[in-house]
Structure 1
Amino acid sequence: MSEKSLDVVVVGAGATGIAAALAFAREGYATALVGEVRAARDGRTVALLDGSVSFLEALGVWDALAPEAAPLETMRLVDATDNLFRAPNVDFKAHEIDLDAFGWNVENATLVERLAEAVGEAPGLTHFPVSADGLGAVQEVFAPGEGEPDEAEEGAERAVRLADGSSLLASLIVAADGRGSKLREAAGIRTRSWTYPQKALTTILAHERDHRDVSSEFHTRHGPFTLVPLPGRRSSLVWVTAPEKAEALAALDDDALARAVERQARSLLGAMRIDGPRGVVPMTGMSVQRYTADRLALVGETAHVFPPIGAQGLNLGLRDVASLRDAAVSANTDPGSRAALRAYERSRALDVRTRTLGVDMLNRTLLAGILPADFLRGAGLHALSAVGPLRRMLMREGVTPTIGTPQLMRRREPRAVAF
């Protein structure tokens, strides 16, 4: 068995994992990315919020991605539940919080492809396109001085075992290997999982009318129906509904599905045409007992999973990465030290839990179908529509947390919107 020693090993070659590898290599750490890059086109897109775009700019990826992304200048909520306390439409406009756009929408596969292209050009970054099987024990590189128990882990490494029989040693291992993470299981980190009586149908649509950079989210009794702009007269669809309906919709031919989407969208964008592949995704949730273990940090869907509502999922994962980078850099020569991992744990606890809870509560109020839940949701939307300071506070917090924004997610200069 061969071994190679590095500063940081990132396991998982999805968008979050690749971004983590690029971020650490950018700081001069000898970094490895473990995993095969897969960029399957399944109709899914990601709305990269402003802080995530700043992060991708810092990684040198955004210029290659921008031409294939569409700005989100307005985010519109439409109450389509037909309940007794029907709320008004609420428009969140980016200019109210001094942004050109809340973010940019791009196909998931395109994002992964552009990130993967940057891997080959990043100094100090080595890609191992194999899977990881598990973790080894922590090994001290040098013996600590007598009477220094807090230093016992400084200079230590931990091994990642690869499927080809080799091992990689690193000061810090970043687990970005998804909700079924082998590394999280090997570290003994407990999880809590739950399911919703929903599935999401995803696809890409072409349409007759201009979307005018407006993302429209219809709240229905079975979940949100969302149309998010793409370049040109195209939009991505996330239709969260009952599992049997999602499967029935997915089984329709292109013309019939396009008509069903147009009806559900109340002909907002005119006649529609299916313009990409489609997928069906079960709605689930997962949280973890903790975000770190010895020499190990969890990021992205290894640490949290919730429904695709409010454009929070991948943005939260990228914020994990940016926060971990800050914690590691502050630790100077030892990115996996206890101090660094404690700082990372503190930075993620409130951010992840509040957003997981917020998405979960919104989704469950739609499904509840009871008057008190309808009243509370309707009253909340009325308040957001009428009270400007409240609306602007929610918008700012939704784009990037007010407290603890990672360094690479802070805006450095105005960003122009391309027309």
Structure 2
Amino acid sequence: MQHYDIAIIGAGLAGSLAAIALARDGHRVALIGPRPAVADGRTTALMDQSIEYLKGLGLWDEIEPLTAPLVAIHIIDGTKRLLRAPPVNFRAAEVGLKAFGYNIPNAPFLEILEKREEGLTALERIAAPAMTFDIGEIEARVGLEDGRTITADLIVGADGRRSAVREAAGIEAFTWSYPQTAVVLNFGHELSHQEVSTEFHTESGPFTQVPLPGNRSSLVWVQKPRDAEATLKLPTDVLSRTIEDRMQSILGKVSAEGTPQSFPLSGMTARRFGKGRAALVGEAAHAFPPIGAQGLNLSLRDVMTLVDLIGRPTGGQLAADIGDRFDGRRRMDIVSRTASVDLLNRSLLSDFLPIQALRAMGLQFISSAGPLRGLLMREGIHPGSALRSIKDSLWEKIGRKRDEGLQH
């Protein structure tokens, strides 16, 4: 029976990145799960903190040619309501960055990760699905579809919203749904996007254009389920014109590419993010609508925390309480991000006039308040940085007053 330090269930982006990071540190890792049956047509906008982590893993040089930088984000209230928010523009230069992050197509991103996995001697890629789990105090056992059983000191669930690892660990999840479906596709356009992402807020949800290399962009169009079904059936020329109209022709003539895909929107958060010899990352731990480029960035912070918590190999068995410690370290970030995205999405859907007024006033305040803008942008890029900035500023003021007192 083969034993590993860590068994990772789920070979999507989050699971693959965790496997690469841990194997690079010298841990014996099994990455378990079949390859996707259908190529993922979505893209992922990774913020500066996540990009720096990819650079540390030695992946960025291969990934960068696929990407487009996001130098600015424009938010436009595209609703027809009485109380509408003003346009809000965020520029990376305001916080001293060349770009907030980069937009990356998921399918080729995953292919690059798979190639890197092949070159890591400490990493074994197992394509057979995991069927059974026994997570004990001494070790975790995984039964594979091909009849094999492996053991590990730690099992990491990266197996999505219906995580079998989460269920086996006895961790409940709180789930909810939205009356929304996301239609995703890529499109070409006549005018340059100038590396700007534009998010139109509509009554049914966000309509978000994100730059790709050249005169191309990706689109996440959140609609009512019935409207999404109709959109998927549109002829390409009609779909292209519809997108152009929705974008108010800011990119000129539009040409939709390929076949659109759709994803019903729902939310989920696990009651715990780790327990004993099990830890949950990515959508096994949290899931929410595609707003504000939070999804994979949050998942990468799961990976960063797990890798930091486990540390380098010591020759002994991994501690039996890693899952519990992981839960403590991830709780604040996950709960706060999930709540904020859920609140923003529900504010778009609400017909309740006071909610619309609060949303409009909030965006107006962000648009006009310089110091707050900077704090919010830094917090979006590097979570926790806003609080650290406030704390450091307070300590600096206390220090100055103390020095002034001593001089007198």
TM-score, length of structure 2 as denominator length: 0.91
Alignment correspondent of 1:61: 59
Q: Distance in 2 between matches of 1:235 and 1:221?
A: 23
Change (3 A) 1:107 1:31: same
Give how far 1:222 is off.
Answer: 0.6
Give how far 1:62 is off.
Answer: 1.3
Count of paired positions: 387
225, 233, 248: which one pairs with 2:215? 233
363, 376, 383: which one pairs with 1:401? 383
Alignment correspondent of 1:79: 77
Q: Distance in 1 between matches of 2:283 and 2:76?
A: 29
Give the letter aligned to residue 56 of structure 1. Answer: L
Give the letter aligned to residue 347 of structure 2. Answer: T
Give how far 1:275 is off.
Answer: 2.0
Alignment correspondent of 2:369: 387
Q: Distance in 1 between matches of 2:129 and 2:146?
A: 8
Q: How does 1:238-277 map to 2 (within 5 A)?
A: 238-277=220-259
Counterpart of 1:104 in 2: which secondary structure? Answer: strand
Q: Is the 8 A contact 2:140 2:154 kept in 1?
A: yes
Q: Is the 8 A contact 2:375 2:386 kept in 1?
A: no
Q: Is the 8 A contact 2:27 2:312 kept in 1?
A: no
Any idea what the Cα deviations from partners look like across 1:231-260, whole Å, max 9, x if unmatched?
A: 000000000011111110111011110111
Change (3 A) 1:394 1:249: same
- Percent of residue pairs identical: 45
Q: Distance in 1 between matches of 2:243 and 2:177?
A: 25
Q: How does 1:82-231 map to 2 (within 5 A)?
A: 82-138=80-136, 156-231=138-213
Give the letter aligned to residue 13 of structure 1. Answer: A
Any idea what the Cα deviations from partners look like across 1:333-373, whole Å, max 9, x if unmatched?
A: 56742453333112210100111000100010110022111
Counterpart of 1:275 in 2: which secondary structure? Answer: strand
Q: Distance in 2 between matches of 1:26 and 1:216?
A: 37
Any idea what the Cα deviations from partners look like across 1:276-331, whole Å, max 9, x if unmatched?
A: 33101101001111011221100000001100111001111111011111111179
**Structure 2: which 5+ runs fail to align?**
388-408
Q: Distance in 2 between matches of 1:132 and 1:376?
A: 47
Q: Is the 8 A contact 2:189 2:252 kept in 1?
A: yes
Change (3 A) 1:277 1:333: farther
Give how far 1:268 is off.
Answer: 1.0
Alignment correspondent of 1:301: 283
Q: Distance in 1 between matches of 2:140 and 2:119?
A: 27
Change (3 A) 1:165 1:135: same
Q: Distance in 1 between matches of 2:135 and 2:156?
A: 15
Alignment correspondent of 1:52: 50
Counterpart of 1:130 in 2: which secondary structure? Answer: coil
Alignment correspondent of 1:146: none
Change (3 A) 1:39 1:312: farther
Alignment correspondent of 2:311: 329
Give how far 1:49 is off.
Answer: 1.0
Q: Is the 8 A contact 2:275 2:324 kept in 1?
A: no
Alignment correspondent of 2:11: 13
- The answer to whether residue 6 in structure 2 is matched with residue 24 in structure 1 is no
Q: Is the 8 A contact 1:68 1:231 kept in 2?
A: yes
Q: Distance in 1 between matches of 2:315 and 2:16?
A: 22
Counterpart of 2:79 in 1: which secondary structure? Answer: coil
**Structure 1: which 5+ runs fail to align?**
139-152, 406-419
Once the two structures are overlaid, the 10-residue window that deviates more, 340-349 or 71-80, is 340-349
Give the letter aligned to residue 155 of structure 2. Answer: I
Q: Is the 8 A contact 2:276 2:321 kept in 1?
A: no
TM-score, length of structure 1 as denominator length: 0.89
309, 331, 354: which one pairs with 2:336? 354
- The answer to whether residue 347 in structure 2 is matched with residue 365 in structure 1 is yes
Q: Is the 8 A contact 1:44 1:107 kept in 2?
A: yes
Give the letter aligned to residue 274 of structure 2. Answer: T
Give how far 1:185 is off.
Answer: 1.1
Alignment correspondent of 1:312: 294
Once the two structures are overlaid, the 10-residue window that deviates more, 304-313 or 330-339, is 330-339
Counterpart of 1:215 in 2: which secondary structure? Answer: strand
Q: Is the 8 A contact 2:158 2:281 kept in 1?
A: yes
- The answer to whether residue 33 in structure 2 is matched with residue 35 in structure 1 is yes
Change (3 A) 1:365 1:333: farther
Q: Distance in 2 between matches of 1:120 and 1:282?
A: 34
Q: Distance in 2 between matches of 1:404 and 1:135?
A: 41
Q: Distance in 1 between matches of 2:385 and 2:253?
A: 44
Give the letter aligned to residue 80 of structure 2. Answer: D
Give the letter aligned to residue 310 of structure 1. Answer: G
Change (3 A) 1:164 1:218: same
Q: Distance in 1 between matches of 2:193 and 2:258?
A: 18
Counterpart of 2:2 in 1: which secondary structure? Answer: strand
Q: Distance in 2 between matches of 1:25 and 1:384?
A: 42
